[in-house]
Chain A
Amino acid sequence: MVNAHSGKAVQEGDQDFHPGEPGFSQANPMRLKYLRKPGAKKCLLAIFSLILSLQLSAQIPDAVYKSNIRSVRFHLYGSQLSLPVYNLNSMDQLELNFDDMDGNVKSYYYTFVLCDYNWRPVDLNPFTYIKGFTQQRISNYRYSSIALTRYTHYQAILPDRGTSLTLSGNYMLKVYLDGDTSKLAFTQRLLVLDQRLRSTPRWSSPLCPTRPGPAR
Chain B
Amino acid sequence: MNNGIFPGGKEWRWLDLRSFRLQSDRVERANYNKNSTEMFLFTDIDRGGQRYAYYSDLNGMYSAETYETINPYWQADYATVHFSLAPPGGQPYANKDIYLAGQLTNYELNEKTQMVFNKEKGLYEISLLLKQGYYNYTYISVDRNNPQIRVDLEGNYWETENSYTILMYYKSFTDRSDQLIGVSRINSRSDRPGVSF
Direct contact of A and B (CB under 8 A): yes
The total of interchain contacts (Cβ-Cβ below 8 angstroms) comes to 185
Whether A147 pairs with B177 at a CB distance below 8 angstroms is no
Whether B166 pairs with A97 at a CB distance below 8 angstroms is no
* Least CB distance, B54 to chain A, in whole angstroms: 12
* Least CB distance, A90 to chain B, in whole angstroms: 13
Whether B159 pairs with A147 at a CB distance below 8 angstroms is no
Whether A211 pairs with B182 at a CB distance below 8 angstroms is no
Q: Using a Cβ–Cβ cut-off of 8 Å, how many residues does chain A contribute to the interface with B?
A: 71
- Among residues of A, the one whose C-beta sits closest to the C-beta of B178 is A117
Whether B158 pairs with A168 at a CB distance below 8 angstroms is no
The reply to whether the CB of A50 lies closer than 8 angstroms to some CB of chain B is yes
- Among residues of B, the one whose C-beta sits closest to the C-beta of A26 is B183
- Among residues of B, the one whose C-beta sits closest to the C-beta of A153 is B74
The reply to whether the CB of A44 lies closer than 8 angstroms to some CB of chain B is no
Residues of A within 8 A of B171 (CB): 117
Residues of A within 8 A of B74 (CB): 142-145, 153
Whether B188 pairs with A18 at a CB distance below 8 angstroms is no
Whether A199 pairs with B182 at a CB distance below 8 angstroms is yes
- The secondary structure that dominates the A interface is loop
* Least CB distance, B126 to chain A, in whole angstroms: 17
The reply to whether the CB of B185 lies closer than 8 angstroms to some CB of chain A is yes
Residues of B within 8 A of A200 (CB): 184
Whether B78 pairs with A214 at a CB distance below 8 angstroms is no
A211-B156 CB under 8 A given contacts A1-B174, A71-B131, A146-B69: yes
* Least CB distance, B36 to chain A, in whole angstroms: 6
- The secondary structure that dominates the B interface is loop
Whether A148 pairs with B157 at a CB distance below 8 angstroms is no
Whether A208 pairs with B64 at a CB distance below 8 angstroms is no
Whether A124 pairs with B183 at a CB distance below 8 angstroms is no
8 A Cβ contacts from B142-197 to A = 148, 150, 155-159, 163-172, 174-188, 190-193
The reply to whether the CB of A149 lies closer than 8 angstroms to some CB of chain B is yes
3 A-B pairs with least C-beta separation: A197-B182, A20-B185, A147-B77
12 new A-B contacts, CB < 8 A, other than A81-B63, A169-B169, A203-B191, are A1-B174, A51-B4, A114-B177, A144-B74, A149-B36, A151-B78, A169-B177, A203-B188, A208-B6, A208-B8, A210-B158, A211-B2
Interface residues of B, Cβ cutoff 8 Å to A = 1-8, 34-37, 51-52, 58, 61, 63-64, 69, 73-78, 106, 108, 129, 131, 148, 150, 155-159, 163-172, 174-188, 190-193
Interface residues of A, Cβ cutoff 8 Å to B = 1-2, 16, 18, 20-21, 24, 27, 50-54, 56, 60, 62, 64, 70-71, 73, 80-81, 83, 85, 97, 99, 114-117, 122, 124, 128-129, 142-149, 151, 153, 155, 167-170, 191-203, 206-211, 213-214, 216
